[in-house]
């Protein structure tokens, strides 16, 4: 419901650098290679207490090394057009060092047809001494021209001061506020390249929100896509995070792919729930195991979505699950859902699974109930021992949610092994659910109460009793 500012322009003029400068974070990948940004990236931000949504778009026009009719170029153009139509203000970025090129005129023609207010940001002007570079761009016929440097920050504040004056009021102010508004659940869609992550995102939101291609590595930035779902009469806001495919590090051969993979890994760290997408036609690979390990290490909720199941058939589900549990044994708490992004098969089950994990992440257990179940688990399997010392549990309490975090007080935390920690987690999961949630169990030594010391007498030596003085004399 916020007004939108869309950053557009031809390839490699500094749109993503300007986007990062305005939001104050390195969200979009910035690189000298043209055509890095493909999907439209959106972030809610504000300037001078005026909130708005900022959109970064792919370059309008030909990208070096790609054909004009290529599906990726056509999809980039479509994504940019959607951003232009939704924008309340368009910021057209040009390169001061290149001057006005024929493609700039073509971009200006397309933008004027939208009828939207347009600011011209002449990028790569690092100081007032370089403002003479603006002369060439007067021929484009814009009244609002701003010399800026996305890298140095020169002129950006002045442009934003004028931009917020053009924006309409926050559209959400005209509607009643929902007192029960919730923080959206962040869902990272992760996996190897070309397993159908972007197709799955588009199918879930029922729109061509991100670019889909058979070419591996099409997605480069991590793209946040908000949407809402109603399950059982309850509406819940979600944010899908479409990520680049994660390849083994030794196979990452370009700096662009390195940054793409890093963005995907950071998406796992900032999400609430990760959907690990597998390719049903390929099976479970060693790289899938590594990605699953990153999810577990980040203590995130997890659902395993086996995509392209329409190409396999129902009869081999059991065999696939057995193979999956053999390789991804550490994610045995994750629910497995068979889906097809192409046909929509299984997506309702996937949404239901997400809704269920969302509730499980927030579940709390009373201390008494937790300790009774913990005592039953310990009685069924004795704690580990070493060098004649056995691990003893005193009591446990839940100290956090999302994911559930438990703190147990023991005599020797060093005796609390990973295997016994997993055993207790499995027993507690069987008792309380926590489907799709890791259970984080930390151990702490119980503090010992020191015995009270008898206060020492402050009586001077001359006031000691005669027998005490006599004893001291004998010792000497």
**Secondary structure of the chain in HEC code, one letter for each residue:** CCCEEEEECCCCCCHHHHHHHHHCCCCCCCCCCCCCCCCCEEEEEEECCEEEEEEECCCCCCCCCCCCCCHHHHHHHHHHHHHHHHCCEEEEEEECCCCCCHHHHHHHHHHHHHCCCEEEEEECCCCHHHHHHHHHHHHHCCCCEEECCCCCCCCHHHHHHHHHHHCCCCHHHHCCCCCCCCCCEEEEEEECCCCCHHHHHHHHHCCCCCCCCCCCCCCCCCEEEEEEEEECCEEEEEEEEECCCCCCHHHCCCHHHHHHHHHHHHHHHHCCEEEEEEECCCCCCHHHHHHHHHHHHCCCEEEEEEECHHHCCHHHHHHHHHHHHHHCHHHCCCEEEECCCCCCCCHHHHHHHHHHHHHHHCCCCCHHHHHHHHHHHHHHCCCCEECCEECCEEEEEEEECCCCEEEEEECCHHHCCHHHHHHHHHHHHHHHCCCCCCCEEEEEECCCCCCCCCCCCCCCHHHCCHHHHHHHHHHC
CA distance linking residue 261 with residue 309, whole number of Å:
26
In this prediction, residue 134 carries a pLDDT of: 83
From CA 109, how far away is CA 130, in angstroms rounded? 27
Q: Evaluate whether 185-361 and 367-445 have a shared fold.
A: no
Q: What is the pLDDT of residue 257?
A: 78
Q: At 414, list the tokens.
A: 């060093």
* Cα dihedral value 58, 59, 61, 63, nearest 10: -90
Cβ-contact 363, 404 below 8 angstroms: yes
Domain parsing of the chain, residue ranges: 4-174, 185-361, 367-445
* pLDDT recorded at residue 468: 46
The CATH number assigned to the domain with range 367-445 reads: 3.30.300.20
pLDDT for residue 259:
79
pLDDT of the chain, 476 residues: tens digit per residue: 799 999 999 888 989 999 999 999 888 766 656 556 656 788 999 999 999 999 988 877 654 555 444 666 677 677 778 888 889 999 999 999 888 998 888 889 889 989 999 999 999 998 777 777 788 898 898 989 999 999 999 999 999 999 999 998 755 444 444 434 578 899 999 999 999 999 999 999 888 777 666 666 666 667 888 888 876 677 888 999 999 889 888 888 777 778 788 889 999 999 999 999 999 999 899 999 999 999 999 999 999 999 999 888 666 888 888 889 999 999 999 999 999 999 999 999 999 999 999 999 999 999 999 999 999 999 999 999 998 899 999 999 999 999 999 999 999 999 999 999 999 999 999 999 899 999 999 999 987 655 666 565 555 544 444 444 455 555 55
Residue 459 near residue 323 (C-beta atoms within 8 A): no
The predicted structure's pLDDT at residue 51: 94
Question: How do residues 236-290 score in pLDDT, each as one tens digit?
Answer: 889 999 998 898 888 887 777 787 888 899 999 999 999 999 999 998 999 999 9
Residue 362 phi/psi, 5-degree rounding, is -100, 5
Q: Does domain 4-174 have CATH number 3.90.1150.10?
A: no
Query: How high is the pLDDT of residue 473?
Result: 53
Q: What is the residue whose two structure tokens read 């193979």?
A: 323
Identify the CATH assignment for 185-361 out of 3.40.50.2300, 3.40.50.300, 3.40.50.1000, 3.40.50.720: 3.40.50.300
């Amino acid at each position: 419901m916020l007004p939108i500012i869309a950053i557009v322009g031809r390839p490699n003029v500094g749109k993503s650098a300007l986007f990062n400068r305005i939001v104050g974070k390195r969200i979009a990948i910035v690189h000298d290679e043209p055509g890095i940004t493909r999907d439209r990236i959106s972030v809610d931000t504000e300037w001078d207490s005026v909130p708005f949504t900022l959109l970064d778009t792919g370059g309008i026009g030909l990208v070096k090394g790609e054909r004009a009719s290529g599906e990726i170029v056509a999809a980039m153009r479509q994504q940019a057009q959607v951003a232009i139509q939704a924008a309340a203000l368009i910021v057209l970025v040009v390169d001061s060092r290149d001057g006005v090129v024929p493609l700039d005129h073509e971009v200006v023609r397309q933008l004027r047809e939208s009828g939207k207010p347009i600011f011209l940001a002449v990028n790569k002007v690092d100081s007032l001494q370089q403002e003479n570079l603006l002369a060439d761009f007067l021929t484009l016929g814009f009244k609002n021209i701003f010399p800026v440097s996305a890298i140095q920050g020169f002129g950006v504040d002045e442009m934003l001061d004028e931009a917020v004056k053009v924006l309409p009021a926050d559209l959400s102010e005209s509607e009643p506020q929902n007192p029960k508004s919730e923080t959206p659940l962040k869902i990272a869609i992760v996996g190897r390249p070309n397993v159908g992550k972007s197709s799955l995102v588009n199918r879930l939101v029922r729109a061509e929100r991100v670019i889909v291609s058979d070419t591996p590595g099409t997605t480069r930035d991590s793209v946040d896509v908000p949407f809402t779902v109603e399950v059982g009469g309850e509406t819940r806001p979600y944010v899908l995070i479409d990520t680049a495919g994660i390849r083994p590090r030794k196979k990452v051969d370009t700096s662009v792919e390195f940054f793409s993979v890093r963005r995907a890994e950071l998406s796992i760290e900032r999400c609430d729930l990760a959907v690990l997408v597998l390719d049903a036609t390929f099976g479970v690979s060693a790289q899938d195991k590594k990605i699953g390990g990153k999810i577990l290490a980040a203590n995130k909720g997890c659902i395993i979505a086996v995509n392209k199941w329409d190409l396999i058939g129902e009869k081999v589900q059991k065999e696939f699950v057995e193979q999956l549990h053999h390789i991804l044994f550490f994610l045995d708490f994750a629910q497995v859902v068979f889906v097809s992004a192409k046909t929509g098969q299984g997506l309702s089950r996937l949404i239901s699974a997400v809704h269920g994990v969302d509730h499980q992440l927030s579940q709390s257990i009373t201390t008494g109930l937790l300790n009774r179940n913990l005592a039953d688990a310990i009685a069924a399997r004795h704690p580990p021992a070493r060098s004649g010392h056995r691990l003893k549990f005193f009591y446990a309490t839940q100290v956090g949610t999302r994911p559930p975090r438990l703190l147990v007080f023991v005599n020797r935390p060093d005796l609390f092994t990973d295997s016994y920690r997993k055993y207790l987690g499995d027993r507690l999961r069987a008792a309380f659910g926590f489907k799709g949630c890791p259970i984080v169990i930390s151990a702490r030594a119980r503090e010992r109460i020191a015995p009270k010391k008898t206060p020492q007498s402050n009586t001077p030596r001359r006031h000691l009793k005669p027998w005490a003085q006599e004893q001291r004399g004998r010792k000497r």
